[in-house]
Amino acid sequence: MSDQGSGGNVLAAICNIFIPGLGQLVQGRILAAILFFVFTTAAWATTIILIGWILGPIMHLWAVIDAARYKSSD
């Protein structure tokens, strides 16, 4: 992907809206994709004890913003 705000980053951010970590996977960042998916899923799973209503949206939004602001090192 090229610079921040490029079409690829926008697509990655949109992918993250549906499945956290999918945008990072589209960008080729496999470890980040796995970590975002696991931690966001765990955060949403804690909605039963009410803390997930705070952590879930924060982690999900963080995944979207991370994909949108990614700047490759090439």
Please indicate, yes or no, if residue 35 is contained in any of the structural domains.
yes
Total domains in the chain come to: 1
Distances (CA, A) of 4 to 33, 39, 49, 54, 62: 18, 24, 37, 28, 16
Range of the domain at 21: 7-69
In a domain, 74, yes or no: no
17-67 tens-digit pLDDT: 999 999 999 999 999 999 999 999 998 888 877 777 888 889 999 999 999
Asked whether residue 48 is assigned to any structural domain, the reply reads: yes
CA-CA distance, 9 to 70, in Å (whole number)? 7
Instruction: Answer yes or no: is 54 within a domain.
Output: yes
Instruction: Grade residue 7 by pLDDT with cuts at 50, 70 and 90.
Output: confident
pLDDT of residue 28: 94
| Inside any domain, residue 17 | yes
In a domain, 2, yes or no: no
**Is the pLDDT assigned to residue 1 strictly greater than 50?**
no
From CA 15, how far away is CA 68, in angstroms rounded?
Answer: 10
